[in-house]
Chain A
Amino acid sequence: MNEIIIGKSSPCDGCPANAHLAQMGLKLDNYDRVIALAGNPNTGKSTVFNALTGLRQHTGNWPGKTVTRAEGGYEFNGVRYKLVDLPGTYSLLSASQDEEVARNFILFGQPDCTIVVTDATALERNLNLVLQVLEITDSAVVGVNLMDEARRKGLEVDTRSLARDLGVPVVPIVARSGEGMQTLLTTVADVIEGRIQTQPLRVAGTPEFQRAVLDLKAQIEALYPGVPNARWLAIRLLDGDARVQQAFLSGELADLVSGQKRAEALFSRKMAIEGRQ
Chain B
Amino acid sequence: MQASITPEQILDQAEVLRPSLGSGFRDEIVQSMYAEAERVARRAVHTREERKYDLDQQIDRLITSPILGLPLMLLMLAVVFWLTIVGANVPSQILANILFGIEAWGVGLFNSIGMPWWITGFLWNGVFRGLAWVVSVMLPPMAIFFPLFTILEDLGYLPRVAFNLDWLFKKAGAHGKQSLSMAMGFGCNAAGVISTRVIDSPRERLIAILTNNFVPCNGRFPTLIMLATVFVAASFSPAVSSLVAAGSVLAVVLIGVFFTLLVSWGLSRTLLRGEASAFTLELPPYRKPNVPRILYTSLIDRTLFVLFRAIQTAAPAGAVIWILANIHLNGVSLAQHIANFLNPFGLLLGLDGVILLAYIIAIPANEIVVPTMIMVYMGTSMMADVPSYHDLYNLLVGMHGWTLLTAVNLMLFALLHNPCATTIITIYKETKSKKWATISVVITLGLAFLVTFLTASAARLMGWV
Contacts and interface: CB of A to CB of B under 8 A. Distances in A.
Contacts of B36: 127, 131, 201, 203
A212 interface: yes
A192 B198 CA distance: 33
Contact of B290 (A121, A131, A176, A248): A176
A238 B21 contact: yes
B11 A248 contact: yes
A258 interface: no
A65 B259 CA distance: 25
A130 B36 CA distance: 11
Interface in A134-161: 149, 153-159, 161
A254 B21 CA distance: 28
A215 interface: yes
Contacts of B398: none
Nearest to A124: B41
A156 B47 CA distance: 6
Interface stretch (B132-140, B149-157, B230-238): B149-157
Contacts of A67: 194-195, 197-198
B301 to A, nearest CB: 6
A161 B43 contact: yes
Contact of B287 (A61, A156, A201, A237): A61
Of the listed residues B11, B28, B281, the one surrounded by the most CB atoms of chain A closer than 10 A to its CB is B11
Nearest to B180: A62
A65 B40 contact: no
A223 B297 contact: no
Interface string B277-296: 00001101101001001001
Contacts of B37: 124-125, 127-128, 130-131
A56 B150 CA distance: 15
B417 interface: no
A208 B197 contact: no
A123 B48 contact: no
B17 interface: yes
Nearest to A177: B290
A203 B26 CA distance: 12
Interface residues of A, number: 66
Of the listed residues A58, A60, A98, A176, the one surrounded by the most CB atoms of chain B closer than 10 A to its CB is A60
B374 to A, nearest CB: 34
Interface string A59-82: 111111101100000000000000
A93 interface: yes
B359 to A, nearest CB: 30
Contacts of B159: 61-63
B158 A62 contact: yes
B345 to A, nearest CB: 40
- Determine the interface band of chain B, counting residues with CB < 8 A from chain A: 35 or more
Contacts of B17: 212, 215-216, 238
Contacts of A42: 282, 284
Interface stretch (B1-9, B74-82, B317-325, B405-413): B1-9
A165 interface: yes
Contacts of A153: 51
Contacts of A15: none
Nearest to A128: B37
A239 B28 CA distance: 12
A120 to B, nearest CB: 8
B7 A249 contact: yes
A158 B48 contact: no
29 contacts: A42-B282, A61-B287, A62-B156, A62-B162, A64-B198, A65-B195, A65-B198, A67-B198, A121-B285, A123-B41, A124-B41, A124-B42, A128-B34, A132-B33, A153-B51, A203-B29, A208-B22, A209-B21, A209-B29, A212-B17, A215-B17, A216-B14, A238-B21, A239-B26, A240-B14, A240-B18, A248-B10, A249-B8, A253-B7
Given A128-B33, A205-B25, 19 more contacts: A42-B282, A58-B297, A61-B155, A64-B180, A64-B198, A67-B194, A93-B30, A131-B37, A154-B47, A154-B51, A165-B39, A165-B44, A201-B40, A223-B10, A237-B11, A238-B17, A238-B21, A240-B14, A240-B18
For the complex of A and B, 6 pairs with smallest distance between CB atoms:
A124-B41, A127-B37, A64-B198, A67-B197, A237-B14, A61-B156
